[in-house]
Amino acid sequence: MNQQPSTAVAGAAPTVWGTELTPSADEQVLDLLRSGIAHRFGRSGEEHYVAPPVIARATVERAGYQSSFPQLLGSVYAAPDGGEQALTDLVLPPAACHHLYPLVAGSTLTEPLTLSLEARCFRAESTGEPGRLRSFRMYEVVRLGPEPDVQAWRDEMLEGAAAWLTDLGLSAETVAANDPFFGRTGRLMARVQRSQQLKWEITAEVADDTVQAVASANFHKEHFGEAFEVADAQGAPLHSACLAFGLDRLLLALRHRHGSDVVERLTRTEAHS
């Protein structure tokens, strides 16, 4: 079922699913969520970025996304020199953290590194139930370091995120999950991801009888460290993990739970933290 928001202009065409606008009242909620996340999960003094709506195709390929999730990737087509539209060197970012790995590619880190960013992401979802958005904002905090550090960080972040979302009044549930890997090999990878508990999601109700993941905590092991050649002083690839919040889904969940009292509820919770 597609979510078709009512249009204020009589006779105007309905919005294409995934292209909805954000009213200023919702932007105010998003700003409170951003500062809540920064305050709790991003440590002061560390770098935060805001990403553009496109990313280099080469980066997403290097991250291994195109081979694992070809069904979700959106590409930019254009014809800068005229003629037929063709694939460009840009795609739509499928996950916020992909923007960060090129910053550290080829480097040696002697201490764990934490970076954060907000990105506009796109996934070619085949269904459009409430909260299954094709275009959405993701706020991610990313940690790179040795395996024990990264694993402990991921566990701590997951626990902190679940506690925060519960404080905000959501029926936040932490569940083991897997990414929608493509094809037969993909099903195997999904099973490994689940059995090794590499991906945890925190779910909440975003509409009546509809529960979606509003946050996830992912341990990538040395996948990105290897792909982007980020190593420790001995030359071994570093491990990475990310804590990701789906800002639009959080907004839906909070509106569903608190209606017009969301700002008051967020302000009160943050004042007590």
Q: Which residues bind Zn ion (CB under 5 A)?
A: 95, 97, 242
Residue (95 or 172) nearer to Zn ion, CB: 95
Angle in degrees, CA 43, 108, 148, rounded to 5: 60
What six digits make up the tokens of 167?
Answer: 């404080």
User: Between residues 62 and 265, which has the closer beta carbon with respect to Zn ion?
Assistant: 62
Residue with the shortest CB distance to Zn ion:
97
Shortest distance, position 81 Cβ to Zn ion, whole Å: 35
Residue among 186 and 246 whose Cβ is closer to Zn ion: 246
From the CB of 98, what's the least distance to Zn ion, in Å? Answer: 7
Pick 121 or 206: Cβ nearer Zn ion: 121
- Minimum gap (Å) between residue 218 Cβ and Zn ion: 6
For the bound state, the minimum distance from the C-beta of residue 220 to Zn ion, rounded and expressed in Å, comes to: 8
- Of the pair 90, 144, the CB lying nearest Zn ion is at 144
CB of 210 to Zn ion, least distance (A): 24
Q: Are 169 and 257 in contact (CB under 8 A)?
A: yes
